[in-house]
Amino acid sequence: MKRVMIFGASGSGKSTLARDLGAITGLPVVHIDPFYWKPGWVQRDKAETTALVREVMARDRWVFEGNHHATFPERIARADTVVFLDFPTGLRLWRVIRRTLRSLGRTRPDMGTGCPERFDAEFLFKWVAGYRRRSYARDLEVVNTLPERITYHHLKSARDVRRFLDDTAKRYD
């Protein structure tokens, strides 16, 4: 395991899994959200975001968490392991609301500098609640067309995540 791509809907636990996996494997962890946002929640130009993603993809080792569908084919071409977090909508909504309340006004470690946590109803309803309608089929298509050389994990529960981390830890003892 040298290059791990983690993706899934908002609130599925991508950042947490990436940190945990990085701690177990010693791989550097990269969060994609800082590539999207400049300080003050100013969205980067798509070309700039893509260039930043490609710069990380070129590295030899990483745990890269986040969704940037424009670079999925390139990241998959470099990855040896892909993890799809596929959690129920209600759980993800709860997690995002809890995360927002816990971090309100502060910048999370996996977020861009100068982007303090805030309540954003559009994000909550359009992106978190609307994921199954907007992006789920596209994500399933991604996983259904992964090259055979990829080690793939489709995690649908906290138990699945624990088992994945425990199994990985056993290989790194």
**CB of 54 within 8 A of CB of 70?**
no
Looking at every residue in the chain, the average pLDDT score rounds to: 94
> What pLDDT was estimated at residue 142?
94
Confidence of residue 14 (pLDDT cuts 50, 70, 90): very high
Cβ contact 44:37 at 8 Å? yes
Domains (ranges, CATH) in the chain?
Answer: 3-165 (3.40.50.300)
Question: What's the predicted TM-score (pTM) here?
Answer: 0.94
**Residue 155 reports pLDDT greater than 90:** yes
The DSSP symbol for 135 reads T
Half-sphere exposure of 2 (CA within 13 A, CB side): 9
Confidence of residue 78 (pLDDT cuts 50, 70, 90): very high
Residue 38 pLDDT grade (very low, low, confident, very high; cuts 50, 70, 90): very high
SS3 of residue 121 by DSSP: helix
pLDDT value, residue 75: 95
Distance, CA of 138 to CA of 144 (rounded, Å): 10
Question: What is residue 129's DSSP assignment?
Answer: T
pLDDT at 112 over 90: no
DSSP run (H or E) holding 65: strand 62-65
CB 32 within 8 A of CB 68: yes
Q: At 124, is the pLDDT very low, low, confident or very high (cuts 50, 70, 90)?
A: confident
